[in-house]
Amino acid sequence: MTVGAVIFMGLTWAGVLGLTAFCFWKVLFPGRKGRRGRGGRKG
Which helix or strand (DSSP H or E) is residue 9 part of? helix 3-28
Exposure of 15 in the CB half-sphere (CA atoms within 13 A): 6
Binding positions for other proteins, 6-35, rule CB under 8 A: 6-9, 12-13, 16-17, 19-20, 22-24, 26-28, 30-31, 33-35
- 37: amino acid identity, one letter: G
By residue count, the chain amounts to 43
**Least distance (Å) from other proteins to the CB of residue 18?**
9
List residues near other proteins by CB under 8 A. 1-2, 4-9, 12-13, 16-17, 19-20, 22-24, 26-28, 30-31, 33-37, 40-41, 43
